[in-house]
Structures are given as structure tokens and as C-alpha cells.
């Protein structure tokens, strides 16, 4: 953790003139490094205190940043304020020091970085509420990933809303293999921070990287966001295998590997046609994020697929989920976009046919295995 010192503390440690010049120079160099650390401390507002929003809040608090958190959920607000913990979404990790609020104006007051940790289904509505409170100095980070209505990415839709309000605030996208409970617990975690202005991405990576949360700067937010969304579709489908394993003998690692491979192949073919750079597939936002989301027991989309694999209907499975499984919405959005572009996506079509209740989990997996 970076050591916080006041400017006067640093000045008091300047050696007196009668000391040797070499010693004074060495101490000044140390002090300059400490001052740089102090200046790197950021004031951050995290809008949305689900499991990932809470996890990044914890990591940045431990690093010494000043962090506010906004939520619309009364139980989350009370839990953070009264107990210093988010009992609903991340119950085993303290967020002592997090300044929680249910008012957007309070959350954005006095901060430099605004993190949108909002589900993709509602993030654009929240952005509409945020814009009247934005200042020119605010830098936005989008943690939601996926397609928005009108053949746009969510980040592109946010840019359009900013443009309409005659605002030029920088926007970056963060995505990667980030399982929230592990990151909050201190597991070394990497992610990509991507912006059209790479200097913004580099500055954010420098400021927000911690001892255990390592951010890499990139200049392809389109590719990062497309893979960040499509990996949820693959993870959802891989989860079917875990469900089949619970109720019979069909599910297992062999089958999951085949599903994983088919989904990754379709992503490599589809996403470049939608604007992603091909190399993104092999980085943290692509294969890295896909692997952990499709295999981790903490993965929300894998867990959702597991419920479907046991035979539950979509409505029944959704009813058992506490957190949002973005893969369902992403599957719908990608099939619509592919149809509009005239692109064949048999993997995505198979999981959508299951979501529509037209085939079983076993039949869905058999169709996908047949693609290989």
C-alpha cells in the first residue's frame, strides 16, 4: 500500500544546509518519489455497488485512494454505512472507508474518475442521469460491456450521449479476467483499460494499478468491449455442461473443452467483422477473460448456464440468480446484430434456441459439438 504523507511532513524532513550535499540529494530524491505517490492518489466515484463495483472499491481503498460508492439499493447502502461491508454482493470483504450514498450529485462531487459499474441493461439510463452532474475534468470508466440498440457498442452510445450534451469527457473501457471475490481477496488480477486516446488509458493504468490489480493500457476499446460481451455468451453455454454433469453422465471436461473451442472460434470469426482488432482475441480481454468466466465457480454466466443445464427454464433460472448474468442479454444482442449483418453464427444461434425454450441443454450441446 502506498504511504500517505502530507506535504508538510515531506518538507519537515529536508536536511539542514550544513549536511553533506550527497545526503541531501538522496533524501530529496526519496521525498520526490513520495510526493509523486501522493499526487497519484485519486478521488473516485463508483456508480453501482454490485460484486465487481464493490471489489474495485476495496482494492482502490486499500491502495489509499479516496472512494465513493453510489447505489440505488437501500440494503446495500445500509450495509456499507453501518457495517463497512456489502453483505448482499461481497459479504466476506471489508470496504471500510467507502463513502456510500444514494444520491448521484453527492457521489460525483469532488471526484476526478467516475466508474460506471452498472449492468449493461440499464447503464445508458444511468448515464442520462449522470450527465447533468458531470464536470469537464471527470474521466469516465465503463465496466459494462456489450451491444447497445442501434448497432452500437455501449461505449459508443455513451460517447453519443456526451456529444449530444456538448461534453468531451474522456471515456475508457475496463475488461479482463476479473472474478470479483478473488480480486477482492488479494489474488493478482490483470485487466485491460482501453481508450481511443491511448494517453488516457496509460494515465488510468498508471494511477489505478495496485499491487494486486494490474491494468494494461490499450487503444482498441471496440475490440475490448466486443470480446468482453461475447465471452459471456460462451461462458453461459459452457455452464450447460456443468448442469448436465449434475443430472447425468453427459457433462464433463471433454464436452466443456469442445464447447469452449467452438465459442472461441466463432468469436474470432464474428467480432473482427464487427470492428474488433484480431489480436484482441489473444489478450486479457479475449482468451484471458473467456477462460476464467467459463471455468470459475464464481462466474455468474457459467452459473446461469449450469442452472439451464439441469433443466430449468430461462425464467426459473433467472429467478434463482442474485446477480445479473449478462450472457443472456448478450446472446440476444449478438444474434440480432449478426442477422442484420448477414453473418452466420451457429454457436450463438444454438444457445438462443435453448433460451427460447425450443431445445434442451443436451440438444444445444450436441448441435455445437457437431460444428467442430
CA-to-CA dists, residue 220 to 75, 187, 195, 313, angstroms:
37, 26, 6, 37
Q: 179-204, pLDDT tens digit by residue? A: 999 999 999 999 999 999 999 999 99
Strand partners, 101: 70
Active site residue 265: no
Residue 25: band (very low, low, confident or very high) from pLDDT cuts 50, 70, 90: very low
**Given 231, 245, 256, 307, the catalytic residue:** 231
Backbone phi, psi, residue 279, to 5°: -70, -15
Among the listed residues 107, 73, 47, 52, the one whose alpha carbon sits nearest the alpha carbon of residue 324: 52
Residue 40: band (very low, low, confident or very high) from pLDDT cuts 50, 70, 90: low
Among the listed residues 142, 147, 184, the one whose alpha carbon sits nearest the alpha carbon of residue 298: 184
Q: 195-235, pLDDT tens digit by residue? A: 999 999 999 999 999 999 999 999 889 999 999 999 999 99
Exposure string over 44-58, b if 16+ CB within 10 A, otherwise e: bbbbbbbbbbbbbbb
Distance of alpha carbon 322 from alpha carbon 339, whole angstroms: 31
Q: pLDDT over 70 for what percent of the chain?
A: 89
Residues 291-299 have a mean pLDDT of: 91
| Full-model pTM | 0.79
CA-to-CA dists, residue 34 to 66, 212, 314, 315, angstroms:
17, 20, 54, 54
Amino acid at each position: 500500500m502506498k504511504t500517505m504523507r502530507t506535504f508538510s511532513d515531506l518538507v519537515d524532513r529536508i536536511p539542514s544546509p550544513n549536511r553533506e550535499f550527497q545526503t541531501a540529494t538522496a533524501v530529496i530524491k526519496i521525498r520526490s518519489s513520495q510526493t509523486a505517490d501522493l499526487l497519484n492518489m485519486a478521488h473516485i466515484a463508483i456508480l453501482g455497488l454490485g460484486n465487481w463495483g464493490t471489489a474495485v472499491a476495496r482494492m482502490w481503498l486499500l491502495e489509499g485512494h479516496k472512494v465513493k460508492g453510489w447505489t440505488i439499493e437501500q440494503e446495500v447502502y445500509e450495509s456499507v454505512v453501518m457495517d463497512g461491508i456489502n453483505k448482499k454482493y461481497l459479504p466476506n470483504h471489508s470496504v471500510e472507508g467507502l463513502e456510500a450514498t444514494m444520491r448521484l450529485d453527492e457521489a460525483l462531487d469532488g471526484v476526478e474518475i467516475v466508474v460506471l459499474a452498472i449492468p449493461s441493461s440499464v447503464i445508458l439510463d444511468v448515464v442520462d442521469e449522470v450527465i447533468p452532474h458531470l464536470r469537464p475534468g471527470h474521466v469516465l470508466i465503463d465496466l459494462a460491456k456489450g451491444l447497445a440498440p442501434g448497432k452500437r457498442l455501449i461505449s459508443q452510445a455513451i460517447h453519443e450521449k456526451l456529444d449530444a450534451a456538448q461534453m468531451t469527457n474522456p471515456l475508457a473501457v475496463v475488461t479482463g479476467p476479473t472474478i470479483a471475490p478473488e480480486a477482492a481477496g488479494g489474488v493478482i488480477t490483470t485487466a485491460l483499460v482501453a481508450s481511443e486516446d491511448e494517453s488516457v488509458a496509460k494515465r488510468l493504468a498508471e494511477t489505478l494499478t495496485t499491487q494486486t490489480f494490474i491494468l494494461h493500457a490499450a487503444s482498441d476499446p471496440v475490440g475490448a468491449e466486443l470480446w468482453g460481451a461475447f465471452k459471456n455468451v460462451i461462458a453461459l453455454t459452457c455452464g450447460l455442461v456443468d448442469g448436465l454433469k449434475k443430472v447425468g453422465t453427459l457433462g464433463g471436461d471433454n464436452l466443456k473443452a469442445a464447447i469452449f473451442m467452438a465459442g472461441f472460434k466463432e468469436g474470432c470469426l464474428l467480432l473482427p467483422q464487427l470492428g474488433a482488432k484480431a489480436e484482441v482475441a489473444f489478450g486479457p480481454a479475449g482468451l484471458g477473460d473467456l477462460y476464467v468466466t467459463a471455468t470459475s465457480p464464481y462466474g455468474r454466466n457459467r452459473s446461469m448456464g449450469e442452472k439451464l443445464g439441469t433443466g430449468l427454464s430461462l425464467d426459473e433460472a433467472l429467478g434463482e440468480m442474485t446477480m445479473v448474468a449478462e450472457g443472456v442479454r448478450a446472446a440476444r444482442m449478438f444474434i440480432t446484430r449478426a442477422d442484420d449483418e448477414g453473418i452466420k453464427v451457429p454457436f450463438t444461434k444454438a444457445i438462443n434456441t435453448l433460451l427460447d425454450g425450443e431445445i434442451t441443454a443436451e440438444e444445444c450441446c450436441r448441435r455445437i459439438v457437431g460444428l467442430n
